Amino acid sequence: MTDSNYKEITALLCERLSALTNVDVEISPDTNLISQLSIDSIKLLNLIMEIEDTFDVSIPINALTDVQTVRELADLVYKIKFASS
């Protein structure tokens, strides 16, 4: 895993999640999307569309079923983006 690419993905996710939520929580890779940030399906889909546009990837909805934390979402994006590299 290229550290700089992974850090870029994680930083972008934290930034976007901060803008999407109204909670006063410091967002880190271990932050839970649902229990700590109250991300609902609409917010999640908006975030996924932004990620897809930013990183030029397509994230299958069924791949999100096991994603609970920012780190797991960053792992998924990284895997999809750089799997062919």
Helices (H), the chain: 3-20, 41-55, 70-82
Structure tokens at 38: 């109250």
Averaged pLDDT score across all residues of the chain: 89
Confidence of residue 62 (pLDDT cuts 50, 70, 90): very high
Please give the Cα distance from 12 to 73 (Å, whole number).
11
The average pLDDT across 71-76 equals: 95
Domains of the chain and any CATH numbers = 3-17+30-82 (1.10.1200.10)
State pTM to two decimals.
0.88
pLDDT of residue 2: 67
Per-residue pLDDT tens digits for 10-30: 999 999 999 888 778 889 999
**pLDDT for the residue numbered 23:** 76
